[in-house]
Amino acid sequence: MSLYYIISIVIVLATIFAYFNQRVLKLPNNIGVMIIAIVVSGLLMLTSDIFPSFFKDSISLIRSVDFTDVLIGVLLNFLLFAGTIQVKIKDLRSQQLPVILFATLGVVISAFVAGGLMYFATRAVHMNIKFEHCLLFGALISPTDPVSVLGILRDVGIPKSLETKIAGESLFNDGVAIILFVTILHGIHNPDQSLQLSDILTVFVKEVLGAIALGLIIGFIGLRALKTIDDHKIHVMITLAIVMGGYILSKSLGTSAPLTMVSAGIFIGNYGNKYAISDISRDYIDKFWELIDEILNVILFVLIGFELLLIKDFGHYWLIGLISIPVVLMARFVSILLPSFIIRLQQKMPMRVIAFLTWGGLRGGISIALALNLTNGLHRDLFVFITYCIVVFSIVVQGLTFEKFINRKTRKKYTV
């Protein structure tokens, strides 16, 4: 099946789902199209005996899309750049301690708490899952998803400081989670080979610090190019080149492409608008990336909905899938609560804020992509299904109720 054929089908379906959502469901686009995709996936499975060839073709189409490559190699880079060019450095600086702690220490705490609780949960339902395998699951489910988070925050009016905490954490925590995931995976595959702290630090410097440095360098080069010409069309093309060329460079150098896009987007968004481009160019760039953001978000959530078709024998996993939801929420709560004791040395951190951060920590495509990379020996089907349950609950339930969760009375009280 040709790439053009696949892309055409996905875009047509995304358009139909988005149209139906706007006309009938009237839900936020991301949530609405994902719900529709899940319902269509369920109908396809229920009618698989009636239309076996159509079901087989649908499965073949979804399998032909490498979700990990499409997400991390294409969608995530564009979506992160589109989201971060609107992020202000002064806002991040004002919340730098919470963002740093939640994106690093919080991820580690969440991974161990989720992994430990999942180990006991699987034992309770008579599943023989090793602790290190549950810990691997804890690592892949711990990062909050920047695409989901930014998409929800865009439609919810909350205090800027709280928005910065949630958005800032989601932009930077995936690098730490991926390093933790790779470290645990290395330990599972090499039980007799001890992993030195120096090895972990080397990976951290290369993946995280190297990615941030590369993004700043690309952003600086792009800024210089923007300053030397006054043409809004070329300015838009330069921002496109930053994303696409930045991904190629990042992949070649072995750094984290998402973090590269985050740092490049923040740099261009703050210094490009201030020093390099006119108001006309700024308007064109903002509208272009807003359109890219909307289109790719819809496509991403359609793909997430259709990933249900790839889960095998999920009928055996319903109970543990339901149990995993409160398990991950508890891990999220603990991962926010413990760092908050340090944050309170600098600023107020009331319990209602911890509750907001817990409920606002949405999971998404990154966790599904990591789960799909597991092998059968690591309980791939089980963890893919559990991850899918958590992601769907996170986006649909938490996403739809987050605005109500933060009611007007609470917003007035929130001052930090």
- Return d(Cα 102, Cα 357) in angstroms, integer: 10
What would the two tokens of residue 35 be? 């719900």
Q: Decide: helix, strand or coil at residue 193.
A: coil
What is the CB-side half-sphere exposure of residue 94 using CA atoms within 13 A? 13
* 3-class SS letters over 378-407: HCHHHHHHHHHHHHHHHHHHHHHHHHHHCC
How many residues are there in the chain? 416
Are the beta carbons of 306 and 62 closer than 8 angstroms?
Answer: yes
Model confidence, pTM:
0.89
Helix H or strand E segment including 82: helix 76-84
Q: Does the domain made of 66-296+310-413 have the CATH classification 3.20.20.80?
A: no
Would you state the pLDDT for residue 143?
93
Residue-wise pLDDT tens for the chain (416 aa)?
677 888 899 899 999 999 999 999 999 888 899 999 999 999 998 898 888 888 888 888 888 888 878 887 778 899 899 989 988 899 999 999 999 999 999 999 999 999 999 999 999 999 989 999 999 999 999 999 888 888 777 666 677 888 899 999 999 988 889 889 988 998 888 877 766 667 778 878 888 889 999 999 999 999 999 999 989 999 999 999 999 999 999 989 988 888 999 999 999 999 987 778 888 899 999 999 989 988 998 998 999 999 888 887 677 789 999 999 999 999 999 999 999 999 998 888 889 899 999 999 999 888 998 898 898 889 998 999 999 999 999 999 998 898 887 765 454 554 44
Would you state the pLDDT for residue 409?
44
